[in-house]
Amino acid sequence: MNLKNKKQIPLDMFIDWALYNKKSGFYMKKNPFGIKGDFITAPNISILFSEMITVWTIAFWQNLNCPKKINLIELGAGNGEMIYQMISSFEKFPSFKRACNIFIIEKSPYLKKLQKKKLKNFKVSWINTLNKIKTGPKIFIANEFFDSLPIKQFIKKNNKWYEKYVDLSDKKNPKFIEIKSNLKKLEKKIGTNITCNQKFIEYSPLSFEYLKKISNQIKNEDGGLLIIDYGYLEESMIDSLQAIAKHKSTSVLKDYGNSDITYKINFKLIENLINNLKLKSQGVTSQKKFLMRLGILERAEIISKDLPFSKKADIYFRLKRLIDKNEMGELFKVMLITDKKTNFNIGF
């Protein structure tokens, strides 16, 4: 999309351009992950995170009665660290390794190049659409994926709804404006009364499209979707739009293309959407509880047992970042979505 002749565009269109424009988009031209980047994700903090996701994945496969072929799909693999550690861990589980076909959905050519370099010794397929996944049961893993998809915002004033747009009349100084909106069409499309008891709405059309396509595959061929993302559980939606550059908050409209634009997932909205898609939530919990239930403390104890104090301290410092309530422990939530006949609560 070219913004050259655009004067006013919806917020989600602006975010899509800022993050994914082929030439200048934030995710299309750089590696934003790590200390030298703009933010750090759990797999880059500690190998323990990826190991726990590995344990969970194999347990879920076993719950599906160990199918001879299983598709594992990571939605947005970042710099490839999590799937790299997971594949390395699969070496200890040869029967699962033989059964597993691994796919990555990645929009950024820059990040795809990084991933391919990191994963060059492993059999991994990169795809642009969910339709290219092989038939059979599927495990989708979305770690900080949905928060990277563009959102729309709506605000209620005097019993009327307005959509947030970006005014680009002055390209150097864009500003937010509000345009009257009819949400009836949106509610009909997604099958839920999204405006009920709300004064503010954040909604990602692209997230809904992914949920819809994934739901069809799960219902037809079995499997599940594991979502790990920062978000909240309250019914009332809030304005959580934010931009981050070099590990610090910045303005959404300032220096767009050079900062990550993100938001907090409303897991109640996700639940409403999947209910209408005839799927089931096996539970929503905090990252802290999820990782602890999978045995992350015990695993940390095992790998640090014979190490010198400095290395042991580093392991526990990294662990603290993952599970402390003032770090990622409570801010991040974990949700499992399956078909209605599946029952699986490990981690929840």
The per-residue pLDDT for 31 is 75
Segment among 26-35, 121-130, 236-245, 299-308 with least mean pLDDT: 26-35
State yes or no: pLDDT of 211 exceeds 70. Answer: yes
Task: Give residue 37's pLDDT band: very low, low, confident or very high (50, 70, 90).
Answer: low
Q: State mean pLDDT over 160-167.
A: 96
Segment among 27-31, 65-69, 77-81, 312-316 with least mean pLDDT: 27-31
The per-residue pLDDT for 114 is 93
Distance (Å, rounded) from C-alpha 51 to C-alpha 56?
Answer: 9
Give how far Cα 262 sits from Cα of 3, 95, 239, 307, Å.
Answer: 20, 39, 11, 38
Mean pLDDT computed over every residue of the chain: 93
Strands (E), the chain: 8-10, 70-75, 100-105, 125-127, 138-143, 152-157, 160-167, 175-180, 200-203, 223-232, 242-245, 248-250, 260-262, 265-266, 280-286, 332-338
Question: 178 versus 25: which is more confidently predicted?
Answer: 178
Instruction: Give the list of residues 6+ apart from residue 83 with CB closer than 8 angstroms, or none.
Output: 74, 77, 102, 104, 115, 119, 124
Task: Give residue 2's pLDDT band: very low, low, confident or very high (50, 70, 90).
Answer: low
Q: What is the DSSP string of 262-311?
A: E--EEHHHHHHHHHHTT-EEEEEEEHHHHHHHTTHHHHHHHHHTTS-HHH
Q: Which residue ranges form the domains of the chain, and what is each CATH number?
A: 8-338 (3.40.50.12710)
The per-residue pLDDT for 171 is 79
The per-residue pLDDT for 121 is 95
State yes or no: pLDDT of 344 exceeds 80. Answer: yes
Q: Are 275 and 329 in contact (CB under 8 A)?
A: no
Task: Give residue 147's pLDDT band: very low, low, confident or very high (50, 70, 90).
Answer: very high
pTM over 0.75: yes
